[in-house]
Structure 1
Amino acid sequence: MSLLKTYGVLLLILILVPSLGLFVERFVFYKLRKLSEKSPWGWDKVLIDSLRYIPTLWSFLVALYLVSEELKLPKSIVLVKDKALWVLFIISFALFVSRLVGGFLRLYINRYREDLPATSLVVQVSRVVILVVGVLIALDKIGVAITPILTALGVGGLAVALALRDTLENLFAGFHILATKQIKVGDYIRLQSGEEGFVEDITWRNTILRQPANNLIIVPNSKLSTSIITNFHMPQPEMSVIVPVGVSYDSDLEKVERVTLEVAREVQKEVEGGVPDFEPMIRLTAFGDFFINFNVILRAKDFGSQHLLRHEFIKRLKKRYEQEGIKIPFPVREVYLNPASKE
C-alpha cells in the first residue's frame, strides 16, 4: 500500500510541477506580456519574450529530477539521467540567453545606435554564437572532448565551404553590405535591374525589399552587393520633387512665377512630408508646341512623402490658376483638307 502511495505521489509530482510551469507560461506571462506592450521601456518585453516555453521546460526537468531521485534507480541509469538533464538545462539556458542578447541588441541599436544596422543578420549571428557555446559547454559537461570536434571542424571546413559556396557567398555579402553602411533598413533603393522598394530586412541569405504596393522582393545578398544601386535615402532622406507645368503663350510669366511660388510655399509648409523651410524654385525649360514649359522644384522629407506633396501641389495650383485667370492649354490640332480636284 505504501509503494502504491509512493508511486501516486511521484505521478502527482510529474503532473503538477509541469502544470505549474504551463500555468506560468499561459496565464502569468500572458498578462505580463500585455502589460509590457504598454510599457515605454522595451526591455521588459524582451525579457518576457525570451522566456517563451522556458518555464514549462524547466518545470518538467525539475519534475523528472525529483521523481528520479525517489525511484532509487541503478547507478548507470542515474548517470545517464543526470547527463541528459544537464544537457537539456544547458541548451535551454543557452536558448534563453541567445534570445535575451538578440532582443537587447536589437533594442539597443534601434534606440541608441542608429549608425549600426539592426538587421536579422546581426541578431541571428549573435544568437548562433551563444547557442554554439552552449552546445560545446553541454558536450564538455557530459564528458565529450571538445578539442577533437574543433579539429574536425577545422579540417572539414574546406569541404563545407565548397558545398555551401552560394550560402557563404550570400552570408559574407550580407556582412559587406552592413559594413559599408551604404544600405540600411528603412532606405528606399532601386536596383540596376529595375526592382525597387524599402529595405525591410537583411538576413544571412537575402535582402527583403517592400514595394509601395506592399509586395515583397527577395534579393540574394550576392546579387545586391554586385548591383548598381540608387539609394534615395543617401546621403540624406530629403529629396527634390520636380513637377513639370505648362502655361499658355498669352500668360504673363512674371505673374505665373509669383502665383506658382506662393502655392508652392503654401504646400511646403502645410502638407505633411514637405520641408517647411525650403524655398521652392521655378525654372523655365522650353517653348513647347502648345505652351511654355517650366519645372517647379519642391522638397520632400523622404521618398515616400513625395507623392502626397506632388498631389496637393497640382490640386492647389490648378485651383489658383483658375482664380488668377492663368490658362493651362491642352493640345489642339488643326487639320486642313484639300478638296479633291475635279476632272
Structure 2
Amino acid sequence: MTTVQWILPVALILFALLAGIIGEKVIFTKLSRFVTKRQILGGEVIFNSLRRMTFIWFTLAGFSAAISYSSLKIDADFKILLQKVITIIFLSSVTFVLARLTAGFVSLFIHRTEGVPASLISNLAMTIILVLGTLIILQTVGIEITPIVTTLGIGGLAVGLALQDTLANLFSGFYLIVSKQVRTGDYVKLDDGQEGYVTDITWRNTTIREISNNVIIVPNSKLASAIFTNYHLPEKEITLTMNVGVSYNSDLEEVERVTVEVAKDVMREIAPELIAIEPYIRFHTFNDFSIDFTLYMRVSEYFDQRMGKHLFVKKLHKRYQQAGITIPFPIRDVYMQDNGAENSDMEVD
C-alpha cells in the first residue's frame, strides 16, 4: 500500500522533470533560434531572461502537484512549509526574470541612445526590481515588511557612514550622467595628461580606454571634481590646425590655393561628410627664414587629427615639390676670425 501511494507523486515529479527538459532543450531552443534569425527587437533579451526558467517552473509545478494530490500522510504544518518553500522559489525566479528583463531592455534602449552609460543605469534598474521582489516575497509568506523597512532606514545611516567613499562614487556617477559632462564614447583628457575614450560609467568608477588599448580606472568622485577636457562636447567635430612656413620667394596666392586643395583632398579621405566646410589658411608671421601661416580644416573627431596631420604632411610636401614652393629650413653663415697671423708677428725678447 505504501509503495502504491508513492507512485502518483513520483510520476508527477518525473513527468514535470521530463516536460521541463523537453521545454528547455527543444521548444525553448527552437524559439530562441527563430527569434535570433528573424532579429526580432527585444527577442534575445526575453529569451536570455527566461533561460533555465522553463525547467525550474515545470519542476516546481511537479512538486506542487505531488504535494497537493498525494495520498501520503504528511503533517499539515510540514505540508504548508513545503508549499511556502515552493512559493518562495517560484517568486524568486519570477523576480530574477523581471530583473533580467528590466536590465536587458534598459541596456537595449541605452545602446540605441548615443552617449548614455549602460552599466550604472541597468544595474540600478535590476537592483530596484530585486529589492521590490524580495519585499513582495516576504509579504507573501507572511513576514511583516514594515519593521524591516524601518530597521533598514535606521541602519542605513550607519551603513552610509561606513560606506562614504562608495556612496560618494555612486552619487558622483549619477551627477556625471545627469549633467551630461561625460558620456560613453566621449574622448576625454584628464588634467594629469591621461586621455582616451570613455567606455562605461559604473556605480563606482569610470572606465577610459587609451589609444594603446590600455584601460584607465577613475573613481567617479575623482572625475566629478577633476579638471578635464571633453573633446566631444559640445560636438564631436573639431578644427585641425597645422602651422606651415614658406620661403619669402613664394607666391602667396599660389601657396594658399595649393594648400587649400591639399586640405580638401585630405578631408575627402577622413571626413567626407564635412567637405562642405571649406578649409582655409591665415598668414600671420614674417619669421627669420619664412612667412608663416596656419591651416584650419574640420575633422570628424579628436582622434582623426592624427591621420589628418599624417596625410596632410605627405600630400603637402609632394604638392609643394611639384609646384616649386619651398619650405625653408634655418641657414646660418658662420664667420671665423683667424688670430694665427697676429700671433706669428709677435716677437719674444
Match of 2:347 in 1: none
Q: How far does residue 15 in structure 1 lie from its aligned partner after superposition?
A: 5.4
- Where 2:260 maps in the other structure, the secondary structure is helix
What letter corresponds to residue 189 of structure 1 in structure 2? Answer: V
Match of 1:82 in 2: 83
Q: How far does residue 228 in structure 1 lie from its aligned partner after superposition?
A: 1.2
Listed one character per residue, the Cα deviations across residues 55-112 of structure 1 (whole Å, up to 9, x for unaligned) are 233233233324444355322221111111111111111111111122222323443x
Q: How far does residue 270 in structure 1 lie from its aligned partner after superposition?
A: 3.8
* 1:316 maps onto 2:285 in alignment: no
- Where 1:61 maps in the other structure, the secondary structure is helix
Of 87-96 and 27-36, the range deviating more from structure 2: 27-36
C-alpha spacing 1:185/1:34, structure 2 compared with 1 (3 Å): farther
Task: Tell me if the contact between 1:199 and 1:208 (Cα under 8 Å) persists in the aligned partners.
Answer: yes
Pick the structure with greater CA Rg: 2
Q: How far does residue 153 in structure 1 lie from its aligned partner after superposition?
A: 0.8
Task: Tell me if the contact between 2:270 and 2:299 (Cα under 8 Å) persists in the aligned partners.
Answer: no
Match of 1:249 in 2: 248
What letter corresponds to residue 319 of structure 2 in structure 1? Answer: R
Task: Tell me if the contact between 1:268 and 1:278 (Cα under 8 Å) persists in the aligned partners.
Answer: no
- Where 1:303 maps in the other structure, the secondary structure is coil
C-alpha spacing 1:6/1:287, structure 2 compared with 1 (3 Å): farther
Alpha-carbon separation, structure 1, partners of 2:326 and 2:31: 64
C-alpha spacing 1:237/1:39, structure 2 compared with 1 (3 Å): farther
Task: Tell me if the contact between 1:274 and 1:309 (Cα under 8 Å) persists in the aligned partners.
Answer: no
Normalised by the size of structure 1, how large is the TM-score?
0.88
Q: How far does residue 283 in structure 1 lie from its aligned partner after superposition?
A: 1.9
Match of 1:151 in 2: 150
Match of 2:203 in 1: 204
Q: How far does residue 284 in structure 1 lie from its aligned partner after superposition?
A: 2.3
What letter corresponds to residue 92 of structure 2 in structure 1? Answer: I
What letter corresponds to residue 46 of structure 1 in structure 2? Answer: V
Listed one character per residue, the Cα deviations across residues 155-209 of structure 1 (whole Å, up to 9, x for unaligned) are 1111011011111111111111111112111111112222221111111111111
Match of 1:275 in 2: 274
Gaps of 5+ in 1: none
Of 22-31 and 275-284, the range deviating more from structure 2: 22-31
Q: How far does residue 23 in structure 1 lie from its aligned partner after superposition?
A: 5.2
- Where 1:208 maps in the other structure, the secondary structure is strand
Alpha-carbon separation, structure 1, partners of 2:186 and 2:220: 16
Matches within 5 A, 1:98-137: 98-111=99-112, 114=114, 117-137=116-136
- Where 1:46 maps in the other structure, the secondary structure is helix
Match of 2:306 in 1: 307
C-alpha spacing 1:52/1:334, structure 2 compared with 1 (3 Å): farther
Task: Tell me if the contact between 1:271 and 1:309 (Cα under 8 Å) persists in the aligned partners.
Answer: yes
Alpha-carbon separation, structure 1, partners of 2:139 and 2:119: 30
Task: Tell me if the contact between 2:190 and 2:229 (Cα under 8 Å) persists in the aligned partners.
Answer: yes
Q: How far does residue 29 in structure 1 lie from its aligned partner after superposition?
A: 4.6
Identity %, equivalent residues: 41
Listed one character per residue, the Cα deviations across residues 116-145 of structure 1 (whole Å, up to 9, x for unaligned) are 834211111111111101000111111111
Match of 2:137 in 1: 138
Task: Tell me if the contact between 2:117 and 2:177 (Cα under 8 Å) persists in the aligned partners.
Answer: no
Alpha-carbon separation, structure 2, partners of 1:291 and 1:219: 45
Superposition misfits of 4+ residues, deviation over 6 angstroms: none
Alpha-carbon separation, structure 1, partners of 2:333 and 2:82: 97
What letter corresponds to residue 128 of structure 1 in structure 2? Answer: T
- Where 2:274 maps in the other structure, the secondary structure is coil
Alpha-carbon separation, structure 1, partners of 2:246 and 2:252: 9
Matches within 5 A, 1:211-250: 211-250=210-249
C-alpha spacing 1:333/1:22, structure 2 compared with 1 (3 Å): farther
Gaps of 5+ in 2: 345-349
Listed one character per residue, the Cα deviations across residues 283-322 of structure 1 (whole Å, up to 9, x for unaligned) are 2243445433322111011223332222222222122112
- Where 1:294 maps in the other structure, the secondary structure is strand
Q: How far does residue 340 in structure 1 lie from its aligned partner after superposition?
A: 6.0
Task: Tell me if the contact between 2:177 and 2:183 (Cα under 8 Å) persists in the aligned partners.
Answer: yes
Alpha-carbon separation, structure 1, partners of 2:268 and 2:199: 30
What letter corresponds to residue 60 of structure 2 in structure 1? Answer: L
Alpha-carbon separation, structure 1, partners of 2:19 and 2:290: 80
